[in-house]
Structure 1
Amino acid sequence: MDLFFVSRARVQERPGLFGRVGEEAVRRLDFRALPDRLPVFVDDQMRPVEPACSWFRHLAYMGRDPEDTLRHYAYIVLRLMEFLAERGRDLGTAAESDLVAYRRSRIELQDAPVGGTVWDREASVINTLLDWMVGQGLRRASPLRAVGSTNPLSTGMSRDMDIRHLTLRQYVFFRDVGLGGQTLDGEVDRAFRGQAPNRSRAAADLALTSGMRPQEWSTTLLPELAVGTRRPGEGTEFDLQACAKYKKHRVAYVPPDALTSVDRFVLVERPEMAESMARTLERRHRDLFVVVEIDYARRRLRGRWQGRDREFAWSAMPPRLRRITVHEGPGGLEPLAVFIGHGSLMLTSSSWDRVRYQAWDRMTAVRGDERAPQLPQKRWRFHDLRHTFALRLLDFLMRRAAEREHTASRVGTATLAEHIAFNPLLIVSRRLGHASPAVTYEYLRYLEDTMSYVDAAFAQWAAGDGDTYADIALRALRVEEAGHAATR
C-alpha cells in the first residue's frame, strides 16, 4: 500500500512525459473538484484503496485544509491500514480486538511509544472515520463499544488546556538570544549560523502582540500589514477568516511596535531573499497567482491564475493560495507573503519549527549562566506567544474593569450594556477568535502582572528600538547586587 498526494503542477511541468494522459488526469481532477495535496491511497496494482480515498475526498469537500489537516490524517490512516493488513483485516472488517491491539502497539510496544495526548488525537481521527463509514452504510456499526462518552481506544485521561506563557524577561531572551543570534552581552554572536534573525524576531513580535495563531501570522500578506502604505507610528487591522481556525471570522489588530519590527525585516533581509528566487518564479509563472492590482480600499487582489483573470478578497484566501501569490517587485516576480525564505515562497510550519528548535538549542546552551532566565522543561512553541498575549491583555482589562466598576458604583451610572461591552473575558475571547468564552475562562488561572491594552501593553515587548535582552539582564543584575549590598 502506498500513499500519494495530488499535484497538478507535477503533471503540467512534464507535458512531454505525460502527454494526453496527463491532460486527461488534470481534467478529471478539476471535474471532480479534487484539490492539490489531497491524499490518495493505492494498492500494489495502483488501484485506489477504499473507503480511505472516499473519506478524504469527503473531508476535502468539507473544506479541511489539505496541507496540514488532511496530510496529518493521512499518515494516521496509513499506519492503521498497514497494521490491519498484517492481521488479514481492513477498515471494513476490523474488529474491536484489532483496534485495541493497534492502540497497544502505538502506546506500548513500538520502539518509541507515543504519549497519551498524541494517541488521543489519533484515536479521534480513527473514531471519526469509523463513524463516517457507519453513516455511509459501509459498516453496520462501529466495532468499538462505547461506555458513556469513551470507547476502548480512548486513554480516558482528562486534560486541561496546555496554557504556557512567557514573562517579559523570558520573551526578550527568546527573541534576542534564541531567534536573533545575540550573546548575553548584547553582541552579535559570530558563531550564530541561523538565517534571517530579523525575520524571526519580527515573526515573534507579530505573534505576541496580535494574538494570532501560527497559521494566521505566518501566512500574512504584505498588503494586510499595509507595508509601504501606512504612516510611521500607525497600527493596522485586517480580517481573518480563511486562515483562521474553523474559518471563524475576526479582526486582527497589529500595534505599531510590531509593525516596526516587520518593516525592519522587509527593508533589510527580505529583498535579498526575493531577488534570489525571482528567476525561479518566472519559470513557474503559469502555476502562480500573479497579482496585477492591490485594491486597498476594498481589500482585494486582482491578477491572473491558471490562465484566467481572478479576483480575491484577502480574508477569503486560504494558505495554499497565499503560498503561490506573487507580484511584480523591483527585481521581478516576488512573493506577496511577508515571511519568506531563501528559495521559498512562504515558510511552512515545519520550517518555523526548525527555527524555534534552533532557538531553543541556543538558549539551553547558556542555561547555566546567571544572566539567563529560568527555562521550562519543554521547549517553547510559537503558540505560547498567543497564550502570553491573552494573559497580558486579560489581566490588564480585568484591572480596568475593576476601576470602572469602582467609579460607576460611586456615581451610579453602570448599566447592563456596559457590563457586557467591557467584559474582559468577552473582549479577549473576540480577539482570540475562541469558539466560546468558556475556553477563554481557562486563562484566569494563569493571570500575572499588569500590562497595558494592545498598544501600551506591548510597548516593551516588540523589538523596535527598545532594550535588548542584555540591557534588561544587566539592569536586573545591578538591582540585585544593590539589594545584597544594602542588607550587609
Structure 2
Amino acid sequence: MLDEWSLFWVGGPVGEASEWLDREGGCGLESREQALGFREGQPILVDPHFRVDPRLSEFFRRSRFARLEVGSQDSYVRDYRLLFTHLWREGRYWDEATVGDLETWEEWRLRGVGNPGRVGGAKFRRELAAFRLLYEWSARRGYVRASPVQLREVRLPGGRVAQVAELTPKNVRSSNVKWVTPRAFRLWRDVGLRGYGADGLPERAWRGRNDGRDAAFADLLFSSGLRRREAGTLLTSELPEVLLPRSYYAGRVASAVAKTSGRFFYVSRPALTAVGVYRVTTRAEAVRKAQAAGRYERLPVRWVVRSMNRAGRLAWVDERGRRCEALLDGLTDRQRVHLYTEGEQGLEPLALWLTETGLPLRYRGWSGIFERASARCARLGLPVFCTPHICRHSFALRMLVTLSRVLDRRLGLTPKERREYEELYGNVWLLVRDLLGHRSEVVTREIYLEPVRGLQLDTLLSGEEEASDNEELLARLAATTGLILDHAQEARV
C-alpha cells in the first residue's frame, strides 16, 4: 500500500492518469473523463488508496485554479501533493487539515532538521498562497469547516489594508542581484558547469559527464532570454536552422509551454553552435547507448511521429498502435517527452535535452544543475552564482544596451533625434518587452531593467567617455548600481 499521494495529468490522446488507472483496473477511462467534464491538462491527485476525490477534481476544473497560468497550476498542485502526503502520514485526509497541521508543516519545510528539501521564505509564501486558494474555496463550498490558513491584517503604503497568511515568513527578501555581466556568467559557467579551476584553466580531476550539455543550455538561456520551461522543453525540430551567417537566428516558442502565448525568440550564433556540438557528441552518445539497450522500445508511453505538415500538425502512432494527431503548438511539456522519431538506428527522442540514460530531461531539473554549479564556485572561493531566471534578466539588460547603441550608430542619431524617432516607431523598451514575451512594458521596465531605471540611459550611452564595448558598459553599470554581479578575475579566463 502506498503512503503518499500520486499526481497525474489529463492531456492529449493518451492521458497519464488514464494510462495509470487503466493498469489499475479502470475501464474506458478516456470516455469517463470526457463525461465528467475533465479538461485537457487538468491535474488529477490520487490518494494512497487509489481514490480520486471529486471535490478536488471540481476545484481543478471550476475554481480560480483553472484560470491560473500553466506554470502556476503545475507548481500549486505539487504543493498540494506534498501537503496531502504529510497529512496522510499524520493520519488525516486533506479536508481534515488544521491550523496546527500547517504550523507543523511550516516548521518542517523551513527549518526541519534532516529535511533535505527545506525551502526558503519566498517559496513557502507561494505554498501558502496555494493552500489558501484551495481551502478558502473548499470552505465556501462547505467541504471543510474553515480554512486552516489563518490570516492577519497589514496596512500597506497609502493606508490600504490587506490580509496575509499568518505563517508568511518574515525573511522573504531575496537577493538584490538579478543580473550578471557576460564575464561573470562565463566564469560561473566554466567553473561551475565545465569543471574549470579558480585559475580559469581546465582541471584534470574533473569528471563531469554532462558539462557540454549543461554549458550549452546555460549559453542558450543567457543568449535568448528564454524561460526555463521554454528552453527546457525544446524539441530538436524547433531549433533555428543555421543556413546563412548571421549574428542571431529566430525560433518559435510553442503556446503550450510559453507563459502567456506563443512567440518568437532569438538566439546568438555561438550559443546555437554550442547546442549543435552537444547534439552530435554527448546527446548522440546517450541516444546510441539507449538504442543498444532497447530502452525506448520498453517505454510504457511513446508516440512515434510519422509526419508534420507546414501548419505544425503532428501525426503519430502511440504504443498501442493507435494513430493520433495534434498541433505541436498545443502539446504541453508533459506530452512532449513522449515524442519520438524513427531513424536508421531505431527510435530517438525529439526532446533536445536528454539525461545520461538517453531519456528526456524534465525542465525542472535544470534548477538543481544551476544550484550545484553555484555551490562549486562557492567552494572554490569564487563569489559568482547564477540561476535560469538570472540569465533571463541579464539578457534583457544586454538587449536594452545593445539595441540602444545599434540604433544610435546605425542611424547616426543624437539623443534628441532618437527620442523623436522613438515617438514615431516605438522605443527599445518595447523591443525588449517583445523579446521577453511580456504583455506589459511595465514589467519589463520596472523589474527586468531596474539597474537602468533610475539612470539617464542617453547620458550613459552617449557620454564623453563612452565605453568601447557593451561588456565595458555593463561593468560600469555594475559598479554604478550595485545590482549586477561582476567579477574582474574573469578577464583571465
Per the TM superposition, whether the score is higher than 0.5 is yes
User: What is the SS of the residue equivalent to 2:215?
Assistant: helix
Take 2:123 and 2:29, find their aligned partners in 1: how far apart are those partners? 37
Letter in 1 for 2:59: W
Change (3 A) 1:275 1:57: farther
Letter in 1 for 2:121: G
* Of 180, 195, 218, the match for 1:204: 218
Tell me if 1:273 matches 2:289: no
Take 2:321 and 2:73, find their aligned partners in 1: how far apart are those partners? 24
Moved more, 389-398 or 59-68: 59-68
Change (3 A) 1:327 1:79: closer
Partner of 2:481: none
Take 1:107 and 1:94, find their aligned partners in 2: how far apart are those partners? 16
Change (3 A) 1:171 1:132: same
Tell me if 1:240 matches 2:254: yes
Q: Note the 1:17-56 alignment, pairs <5 A.
A: 21-24=25-28, 28=32, 32=36, 33=38, 38-42=43-47, 47-48=51-52, 51-52=55-56, 54-56=58-60
1:174 to partner: Cα distance: 1.9
Letter in 2 for 1:375: P
Letter in 1 for 2:256: A
Take 1:126 and 1:475, find their aligned partners in 2: how far apart are those partners? 48
Q: Note the 1:34-433 alignment, pairs <5 A.
A: 38-42=43-47, 47-48=51-52, 51-52=55-56, 54-56=58-60, 64=70, 68-69=74-75, 71-78=77-84, 81-82=87-88, 91=95, 98=100, 101-102=103-104, 105=107, 110-111=112-113, 115-138=120-143, 144=150, 147=153, 148-153=161-166, 155=168, 164-183=178-197, 188-226=202-240, 230-231=243-244, 233=246, 235-245=249-259, 247-278=260-291, 279-284=294-299, 287-295=301-309, 297-305=310-318, 307-367=321-381, 374-376=382-384, 379-398=385-404, 407=414, 409=416, 414=421, 416-418=423-425, 421-422=426-427, 424-433=428-437
What are the Cα deviations for residues 224-271 of structure 1, in whole angstroms up to 9, with x where unaligned? 1145x74454613214321112x3332212222211111111122221
- C-alpha contact 2:87 2:97 (8 A) present in aligned 1: no
What percent of counterpart residues are identical? 24
Letter in 1 for 2:393: H
What is the aligned residue count?
437
Unaligned runs of 5+ in 2: 10-14, 154-160, 462-468, 475-487
Letter in 2 for 1:205: D
- C-alpha contact 2:312 2:327 (8 A) present in aligned 1: yes
Take 1:268 and 1:108, find their aligned partners in 2: how far apart are those partners? 41
1:219 to partner: Cα distance: 0.8
Take 2:193 and 2:438, find their aligned partners in 1: how far apart are those partners? 29
Take 1:410 and 1:12, find their aligned partners in 2: how far apart are those partners? 62
Moved more, 127-136 or 297-306: 297-306
Change (3 A) 1:2 1:366: closer
1:107 to partner: Cα distance: 7.4
Take 1:52 and 1:312, find their aligned partners in 2: how far apart are those partners? 28
1:35 to partner: Cα distance: 6.9
- C-alpha contact 1:163 1:443 (8 A) present in aligned 2: no
1:319 to partner: Cα distance: 0.5
What are the Cα deviations for residues 290-321 of structure 1, in whole angstroms up to 9, with x where unaligned? 112244x4344332235433333333221011
1:182 to partner: Cα distance: 3.2
1:78 to partner: Cα distance: 1.3
Take 2:188 and 2:211, find their aligned partners in 1: how far apart are those partners? 12
Moved more, 439-448 or 101-110: 101-110
1:439 to partner: Cα distance: 1.8
* Of 451, 472, 489, the match for 1:446: 451
Change (3 A) 1:457 1:332: farther
- C-alpha contact 2:302 2:339 (8 A) present in aligned 1: yes
Partner of 1:4: 6
Take 2:51 and 2:330, find their aligned partners in 1: how far apart are those partners? 35
User: What is the SS of the residue equivalent to 1:287?
Assistant: coil
Change (3 A) 1:301 1:152: closer
1:193 to partner: Cα distance: 1.9
Change (3 A) 1:133 1:364: same
User: What is the SS of the residue equivalent to 2:290?
Assistant: helix
Partner of 1:453: none
- C-alpha contact 2:290 2:296 (8 A) present in aligned 1: yes
Letter in 2 for 1:428: V
Unaligned runs of 5+ in 1: 368-373, 451-455, 462-471, 478-488
- C-alpha contact 1:301 1:312 (8 A) present in aligned 2: yes
Q: CA RMSD in A?
A: 4.3
Q: TM-score, normalised by structure 2?
A: 0.73
1:277 to partner: Cα distance: 1.7
User: What is the SS of the residue equivalent to 1:283?
Assistant: coil
- C-alpha contact 1:39 1:74 (8 A) present in aligned 2: no
Q: TM-score, normalised by structure 1?
A: 0.73
